[in-house]
Amino acid sequence: MSKLGTITRRTFLFGSIAIAGGVGFGYYKYKQPHENPLELDLADGDTALTPYVLINQDGISIIAPRAEMGQGVHTTLAALVAEELDLSLEQVKVIHGPPSAAYFNAAVLEEGIPFASIDTSALANTVRNFIHVPAKLAGLQITGGSSSIADAYEKMRVAGAAVRNVMIKTAAARLDVSATKLTTENGFVIATDGQSLSYLELAAAAATVEPDSELALKPNPQWKVLGKSQNRIDIPAKSTGTAEFGIDIDLPNMVYASIRVNPRLGGAMNSFNAEKAKAMQGVKKIVEIDNGVAVIASNTWYAFKAVNAIEFDWAQANYPADTAAHFKAVEDSFTSDNQDSQFRDDGDVDAALEIADEIVSAEYRVPYLPHAPLEPMNATAWFRDGKLDVWAGTQIPTQALKEAAAITDLDESNIKIHTTLMGGSFGRRLEMDFIIQTIKVAIEMPGAPVKLTWTREEDMTHDNYRPCGIARFKAVVGENGPSAIDLELAGGPVNASQMGRIGVPAVGPDISIIQGAWEQPYGVENFRVTGYRVKNDFPISSWRSVGSSQNGFFHESMIDEIAHAKRLDPLQMRINLMTHHPSRKVLEAVADMSDWGSELPQGHGRGIAYCLSFGVPSAEVIEVAIIDGKVKILKAFAAVDVGTALDPRNIEAQVLGGVNFGLAAAISGDINIKNGEVQETNFHQYRSMRFYQAPAVEVRILENGDKVRGIGEPGTPPAAPALANAIFAATGKRIRELPLSKHIGFV
Q: Which stretches of the chain bind other proteins, using CB under 8 A?
A: 69-72, 231-232, 234-245, 247-248, 250, 256, 281-282, 299-302, 304, 372-376, 421-426, 453, 455-456, 649-650, 653-654, 656-661, 663-664, 682-684, 688-692, 694-697
Minimum CB distance to other proteins, residue 545 (Å): 14
Nearer to ligand FES, 423 or 516 (CB): 423
Nearer to other proteins, 37 or 657 (CB): 657
By a kind-dependent CB cut-off of 5 to 8 A, residue 244 interacts, out of ligand FES, other proteins, none, with other proteins
Distance CA 95, CA 127 (A): 33
Distance CA 695, CA 329 (A): 37
Minimum CB distance to ligand FES, residue 709 (Å): 23
By a kind-dependent CB cut-off of 5 to 8 A, residue 75 interacts, out of other proteins, ligand FES, none, with none
Nearer to ligand FES, 43 or 374 (CB): 374
Beta bridge partners of 406: none
Nearer to other proteins, 125 or 231 (CB): 231
Nearer to other proteins, 539 or 662 (CB): 662
Minimum CB distance to other proteins, residue 146 (Å): 15
Nearer to other proteins, 222 or 240 (CB): 240
Nearest to 663 by CA among 551, 563, 741: 741
393-to-124, 307, 361, 428 alpha-carbon distances in Å: 34, 23, 45, 10
Sign of CA dihedral 698, 152, 216, 124: positive
Minimum CB distance to other proteins, residue 424 (Å): 4
Nearer to other proteins, 11 or 681 (CB): 681
Residue 168 burial (CB count, 10 A): 23
Q: Compute the half-sphere exposure of residue 737: CA atoms within 13 Å on the CB side of its CA.
A: 8
3-state secondary structure of 529: strand
670-697 burial code (b ≥16 CB/10 A, e <16): bbbbeebbbbbbeeeebbbbeeebebeb
By a kind-dependent CB cut-off of 5 to 8 A, residue 660 interacts, out of other proteins, ligand FES, none, with other proteins
Is the separation of the CB atoms in 461 and 685 below 8 Å? Answer: no
658 binds ligand FES (CB under 6 A): no
Distance CA 511, CA 710 (A): 19
- How many Å is the maximal CA-CA distance in the chain? 85
3-state secondary structure of 383: strand
237 binds ligand FES (CB under 6 A): no
By a kind-dependent CB cut-off of 5 to 8 A, residue 664 interacts, out of ligand FES, other proteins, none, with other proteins
Question: How buried is residue 469: exposed, middle or buried, by Cβ count under 10 Å (0-12/13-18/19+)?
Answer: buried
Distance CA 224, CA 220 (A): 9
Distance CA 255, CA 300 (A): 8
How many residues are given for the chain? 747
Minimum CB distance to ligand FES, residue 70 (Å): 5
By a kind-dependent CB cut-off of 5 to 8 A, residue 257 interacts, out of other proteins, ligand FES, none, with none
| Cβ-based neighbours of 339, under 8 Å, separated by 6 or more | 530, 531, 532, 533
552 binds ligand FES (CB under 6 A): no
393 binds ligand FES (CB under 6 A): no
Minimum CB distance to ligand FES, residue 249 (Å): 18
235 binds ligand FES (CB under 6 A): no
Nearer to ligand FES, 302 or 553 (CB): 302
424 binds ligand FES (CB under 6 A): yes
Choice from 173, 374, 406, 696 touching ligand FES (CB under 6 A) = 374
By a kind-dependent CB cut-off of 5 to 8 A, residue 234 interacts, out of other proteins, ligand FES, none, with other proteins
Minimum CB distance to ligand FES, residue 543 (Å): 16
By a kind-dependent CB cut-off of 5 to 8 A, residue 375 interacts, out of other proteins, ligand FES, none, with other proteins
For ligand FES, the binding residues (CB under 6 A) are 70, 374, 424
